[in-house]
Structure 1
């Protein structure tokens, strides 16, 4: 799935529906379940709080510049093997289907969430729309490392 782009979490949900029942093979170092669980974990932390934050000076400078760039260009590139700082590593056990279900449930929880969103560990305060677009880009970058068959 090279060069995957998603504009929103709704597009991610559509892709996950298409992927259901297909064989999915990771092209990078993490198992498929771990990739999907990591993506779900990042969304969950927007609602519950990230376990470790970058210093406020970094969030207010480099972080703001980075997120503005990503949102403007509509895609992002980042380390596909970096776990969320301070977070437990997603469990390695689970099938691709279980990972897809976990990610779908987390997306649905985020979309239905009406409470205050927590600041991103690097980008700081984001609106729900900005988070939606960021998560879509984050997932697309990870999906670029997957291959699936119909």
Structure 2
């Protein structure tokens, strides 16, 4: 390891250590386990409900964002973080989330290079898109694409990531 790599690693480790305290804080109760079937049940329970977001994106935008993430895991993300990030910081963050059984991330940050979150515009259609994305992912048998931040994930790890991602976003969505 050369000096530049060592300095970069030391800086990242320090940032990760300081940030871990913040990211480890719970946001609120989880709606279920990090299981695909539980997430699909949670989503089914939202059908025909009037939902509001306490801040940030509308429920439709949240559903479109979560659907994008699932779809991109099968088709490929439009932009990836640098390889060094996907090989170091990203997997450490995913490991922390997995150990906690919950994710905490910025809830108004779009996937790099992703399309706008305005289609479909209605909450019902966006929720349907998300439910279809989960069903497609559950049935997906081919090799999954690298996550834009975490790098290569198994189907099981990706399922866990998608469910934790959904639950983190649902922390801001409530019945009207």
Where on the TM-score scale, by shorter chain, does this alignment land: which range? over 0.9
Q: Which residue of 2 aligns with 1:78?
A: 105
Q: Which residue of 1 aligns with 2:96?
A: 69
- TM score, norm. by length of structure 2: 0.80
What is the CA distance between 1:53 and its match in structure 2? 0.5
Q: Which residue of 2 aligns with 1:97?
A: 124
Instruction: Structure 2: give runs of 5+ residues left out of the alignment.
Output: 1-27
Distance 2:123 2:167 in 1: 16
Superposed CA offset, 1:77-104 (max 9, x none): 1111000001112216522211110100
Q: Is contact 1:46-1:118 (8 Å) kept? A: yes
What is the CA distance between 1:143 and its match in structure 2? 0.2
Distance 1:130 1:75 in 2: 13
Question: Among 28, 35, 54, which residue is 1:8 paired with?
Answer: 35
1:129 corresponds to 2:143: no
What is the CA distance between 1:21 and its match in structure 2? 1.6
Distance 1:89 1:32 in 2: 14
Computing the radius of gyration over CA atoms, which structure comes out larger, 1 or 2? 2
Instruction: Structure 1: give runs of 5+ residues left out of the alignment.
Output: none
Out of 31-40 and 93-102, give the one that drifted further. Answer: 93-102
Q: Is contact 2:67-2:130 (8 Å) kept? A: yes
- TM score, norm. by length of structure 1: 0.93
Distance 1:92 1:29 in 2: 17
Which of structures 1 and 2 has the larger relative contact order (alpha carbons within 8 angstroms, sep 6+)?
A: 1
Q: Aligned-pair RMSD on alpha carbons?
A: 1.3
1:50 corresponds to 2:50: no
Give the paired residue count. Answer: 148
What is the CA distance between 1:145 and its match in structure 2? 0.4
